[in-house]
């Protein structure tokens, strides 16, 4: 089995390192939606949005400043290349919804069981609640 392919997000939680408590990633809510793709040519993309993501009230015009802020805060998206070493995949970010990630790496650890890909982030301090933890994302292969 390989991680190459398209994956649909099934679940996303954050795990507190100190307590083991799992909780929703605050900005994406209880049931985020998303896709992750790994191509044979070494390119990748990922996008996740809150299921209850706000919609702009102005279909034919740019969103208002308040709407744009809500839209930005209800998503994560980036693309680039990737390398795999054992159970570690490193995303080399070319472009991102968060400009600070562009030109950097996002390291992930994965397990693959059939058509289920589980990805854990590196241990980080949450900018939202300040707790040390890892994000755990479960993806289903799209067929």
Ordered by start, the domain boundaries in the chain are 5-141
pLDDT tens-place string over residues 27-75: 788 889 999 999 999 999 999 999 887 776 667 788 888 888 888 888 9
Q: What letter would DSSP give residue 62?
A: P
- Enter the pTM of the model: 0.89
**Percent of the chain topping pLDDT 90:** 67
Q: How many residues does the chain have?
A: 143
- Measured CA to CA, the distance from residue 93 to residue 95 in angstroms comes to 6
Residues 77 and 95 sit within 8 Å (Cβ to Cβ)? no
- For 5-141, which CATH class? mainly beta
The span from the CA of 97 to the CA of 100, in Å, is 9
Q: Kindly state the DSSP code that residue 42 receives in the 8-state scheme.
A: S
Mean pLDDT for all residues in the chain = 91
Give the Å distances, CA to CA, from 37 to 115, 116, 124, 140: 14, 14, 24, 11
| Max mean pLDDT range (73-77, 128-132, 139-143) | 139-143
Task: Identify which of 44, 101, 54, 56 has the alpha carbon closest to the alpha carbon of residue 76.
Answer: 101
pLDDT tens digits, one per residue of 64-94: 888 888 888 889 999 999 999 999 999 999 9
């Amino acid at each position: 089995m390989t991680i190459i392919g398209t994956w649909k997000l099934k679940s996303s939680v954050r795990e507190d390192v100190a307590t083991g408590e799992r909780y929703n990633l605050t900005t994406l809510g209880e049931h985020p939606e998303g896709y992750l793709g790994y191509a044979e040519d070494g390119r990748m993309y990922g996008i996740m949005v809150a299921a209850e993501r706000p919609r702009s009230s102005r279909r034919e015009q740019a969103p208002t400043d308040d709407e744009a802020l809500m839209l930005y805060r209800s998503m994560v998206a980036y693309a680039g290349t990737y390398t795999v070493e054992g159970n570690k995949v490193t995303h080399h970010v070319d472009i991102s919804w968060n400009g600070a990630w562009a030109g950097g790496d996002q390291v992930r650890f994965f397990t693959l069981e059939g058509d289920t890909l589980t990805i854990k982030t590196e241990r980080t301090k949450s900018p939202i609640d300040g707790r040390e933890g890892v994000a755990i994302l479960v993806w289903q292969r799209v067929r």
